[in-house]
A and B are shown apart, each in its own frame.
Chain A
Amino acid sequence: MTAPHLDQLDHQLIQILSLDARISNRKIAAELGVTEGTVRGRIKKLQQDGMIAFTAITSLGLVDSRKLAFIGVQADVNRVKEIATEIAELAAVNAVMITMGRFNILVFGLFSELDKLHDVASDQILAIKDVHHVETSIAVKTVKYNSRIVRITKPSKPE
């Protein structure tokens, strides 16, 4: 995928909206010295190109000390995309990427209890046909994390 070229105004918009997405177009326009129409048009374009998405991030549920866990999966290379897609359908799973390395699929999830992680890794993922091996690892401490820069994936419906 080649990314569309973003100019300085796009980056300023992203910066403002990454702090507060509920700010009005009028306020942004005044702050950046452009028209409301420009702001509206730019935001629409950035959204359409998959460069930005608007969402709600909550710290709710963090009180129950959910831990980030990594599940490395070794699966048949010729079925890797289908298997990754199947894993992505599991609600307990937050992220799935196909990788080249020690594993060919990496899975990330937030789990409140160890047996939930075991259930997903060893009962659900390992049970998928042509999955040969899973390994889990738990993040005991997160030293750095940027919740604003992500991979925006398209809804998997149209294909």
Chain B
Amino acid sequence: MNDDFPVDEVDMAIVEKLRLNGRATNQQIADMLELTAATVSARIRRMEKANKLRVVAVSDFAAHGFNVLMQVAIEVDGRPASEVVNELAEFPEVFAAHLVTGRYDIDMLVALHDFDDLSALLLEKFSQVQGIRSMVPAIAVDVIKYKFDIAPIDAKEAM
């Protein structure tokens, strides 16, 4: 099958319904869009096979016991930022890590169970990484919006 098929309006309409409720049955989606359940099922499968779509449950940080979220900006010195970020990305507390432009070189999202975990993270883990000149945290006190439904889909992900 050609993985690079063009996504048409029917596909997009189905994706819109799935964004609102990923557990809607094929029949429910079919009824809303005046299609057949077989068409809905085939369209979803085709997009999934081509790694264009995943219908998934996302879980809250709190479901995993993470009660502290912080965004950390890092300035690198004396070592390529791409090396530093690879090392930092290996820590399980680091949920996202990006190389960025601007005053800082790396931006990352860190999640902790509570503030007591911060000293171990800083003194036992981050301190072992060479090339960090400074770290500036921004502690999330309230998340007003969090809506990322576009993401690279890893072909290795189980279907």
Cβ A110 vs Cβ B142 within 8 A? no
Cβ B57 vs Cβ A151 within 8 A? no
B46 contacts partner chain A, Cβ-Cβ < 8 Å: no
Cβ B60 vs Cβ A152 within 8 A? yes
Cβ A60 vs Cβ B15 within 8 A? yes
B19 to chain A, nearest CB (A): 5
The one of B61, B102, B159 in contact with A151, judged by C-beta atoms closer than 8 angstroms, is B61
Cβ B150 vs Cβ A60 within 8 A? yes
Indicate the size class of the contact surface on chain A: 35 or more
> In the bound complex, how far is the Cα of B95 from the Cα of A151, in angstroms?
12
Given A60-B7, A141-B82: A97 and B143 interface contact (C-beta under 8 Å): yes
* Count of chain B residues near A, Cβ 8 A: 70
Given A3-B65, A136-B102, A137-B100: A56 and B19 interface contact (C-beta under 8 Å): yes
A30 contacts partner chain B, Cβ-Cβ < 8 Å: no
CB contact list, A139-158 vs B, under 8 A? 139-153, 156
B120 contacts partner chain A, Cβ-Cβ < 8 Å: no
Cβ A153 vs Cβ B67 within 8 A? no
Which residues on the A side are within 8 Å of B94 (C-beta)?
Answer: 144
> In the bound complex, how far is the Cα of B99 from the Cα of A151, in angstroms?
22
Cβ B56 vs Cβ A143 within 8 A? no
B27 contacts partner chain A, Cβ-Cβ < 8 Å: no
Closest to A135 in B: B102
Residue pairs across A and B with Cβ atoms less than 8 A apart, 8 shown, are A3-B62, A19-B157, A22-B22, A54-B21, A145-B152, A147-B148, A149-B95, A153-B143
User: B residues engaging A (CB < 8 A)?
Assistant: 7, 12, 15, 18-19, 21-23, 44, 47, 51-67, 69-71, 73, 82, 85-86, 89, 94-104, 107-108, 111, 136-153, 157-159
